[in-house]
Structure 1
Amino acid sequence: MQSKAVLFDMDGVIVNSERYWVEREEEEILPAAVDGSPDTSETTGMNFREIYDYLEERNEMTESKDEFVARYEDAARDIYGEKVELQEGFADLLAALREDGRTVALVSSSPHDWIDRMLDRFDLREEFDQIISAEEIDGKSKPEPDVYEYAAEQVGVEPAECIAVEDSTNGVKSAKAAGMKAVGYRNQSDEELDLSEADAVAESPAELREILLADA
């Protein structure tokens, strides 16, 4: 059965932001906040506010949550406003999916102001049927299923009829826990994340297009 809705993560899927985030986190954000060297792969896909709580449970923190959040906000202005590029052929992929009768949505752990900056920069705001941020819900971030369960409600499609595109281990786990299919996307960043729980894995934009239009 073909999925009725395709739900795209933002970071590392729609735009190539993950490598910029990893660089910023490893070189600036985490060294300022944590006594030690946490593994960024553990927190990829999580909401940045919850990253602090996750780290605080496991490490000695060296700055406050407010200071930590401010660093992320500053980084976001630079990354989404100046650095990121749109995935090759992404606008055409959205058009093909909509022509195929599929609902398309953006589902991200990032706050709306970060999402809006990206959408406005690449003129994509009108191309999605729904734009969903985890900040809209009083729930847990990826890898918990909350944001994808909420997304299914918002697009009006049963989870089993949704397919999510994710580049991170936490994102794939979240979609699968919500009862959806998941496509793992290798975004050519330096991180080699575990996407083994995905129903299919795309190694390139062309392969992602092929999988989604065939609904493998």
Structure 2
Amino acid sequence: MIKTVIFDMDGVIVDTEPVHHYAYHQHFKELNIAVSDEMYATFTGNSTRNVFQKLKEHFNLKEDVEDLILRKRHLFNEAFDTKPDLELIDGVLELIRDLHANGIQLILASSASKSTINRVFNRFDLNQYFTHKVSGEDFPKSKPHPAIFLHAASLSVAPKEECIVIEDSTNGIAAAKAAGIFCVGYHSENSKDQNLSQADHVIHDFNALEFSVLQRLDV
């Protein structure tokens, strides 16, 4: 029986990708580098630190990774605070409330920074539902490395065999499977070019994952 649901954030709880896209591409212009759409798509599920480590190596950037992170974060926060149409993914708040009301433990495991996670959770009043929030900035390797999900599962009230992960990215699903955790792939219209084929179960709508459905999954 499932006791804990581990949520990714970007693309699953809230679509911050357009804000990230804006901030990254503003920064790319400042750095005078040309990042292709194909290369950018591979960053999905990675922490900002990992992205800039890759960019620094690929483009031989002279700037320190920490300075690059701070600049991008500034651009993101500026856009986040001024974007009026930032909303939760359709149906996810109802799912969160349904699972919480039925005694399911909820844990966040996101590649986003702590500051971004807190901005989202404070803006949408989500702290009341989650027992833990785990940020990818605390781990040297990003998804598809399983470290973040192994840590999230260690915070569960139950063994990882009674946990599931909800992910929308190729890297996130690979990380969940590498951690040995049942993964529900969410086919988000906002997450482009992502391969959900490794997921154990795929949904296109959060209404398809209410508590009663969750208990029937063959975990």
Q: Same fold (TM over 0.5)?
A: yes
Q: What corresponds to 2:12 in structure 1?
A: 13
Amino acid at match of 2:206: P
Preserved contact between residue 105 and residue 157 of structure 2 (Cα < 8 Å): no
Q: What corresponds to 2:21 in structure 1?
A: 22
Preserved contact between residue 19 and residue 190 of structure 1 (Cα < 8 Å): no
Q: What corresponds to 2:94 in structure 1?
A: 92
Amino acid at match of 2:9: M
Q: CA RMSD in A?
A: 2.3
Q: TM (normalized to structure 1)?
A: 0.86
Amino acid at match of 2:125: D
Amino acid at match of 2:121: L
Preserved contact between residue 168 and residue 191 of structure 2 (Cα < 8 Å): no
Q: TM (normalized to structure 2)?
A: 0.85
Instruction: Give the gaps of 5 or more residues in structure 1.
Output: none
Preserved contact between residue 184 and residue 200 of structure 1 (Cα < 8 Å): yes
Amino acid at match of 1:149: L
Structure 1 runs of 4+ aligned residues shifted over 4 Å read: none
Q: What corresponds to 1:175 in structure 2?
A: 176
Structure-to-structure mapping, 1:120-139, within 5 angstroms: 120-137=122-139, 139=140
- Paired residue for 1:113, among 110, 115, 124? 115
Q: CA deviation at 1:206?
A: 2.2
Q: CA deviation at 1:208?
A: 4.2
Structure-to-structure mapping, 1:1-216, within 5 angstroms: 2-25=1-24, 27-33=25-31, 35-38=33-36, 39-61=39-61, 63-83=63-83, 84-137=86-139, 139-189=140-190, 191-209=192-210, 212=214, 214-215=216-217
For residue 58 of structure 1, give the secondary structure of its aligned residue in structure 2: helix
Aligned residues: 213
Instruction: Give the gaps of 5 or more residues in structure 2.
Output: none
1:78-115 deviation per Cα after TM superposition (whole angstroms, max 9, x unaligned): 45434321122322211211233321111111121111
CA distance in structure 2 between the aligned counterparts of 1:48 and 1:202, rounded to whole angstroms: 27
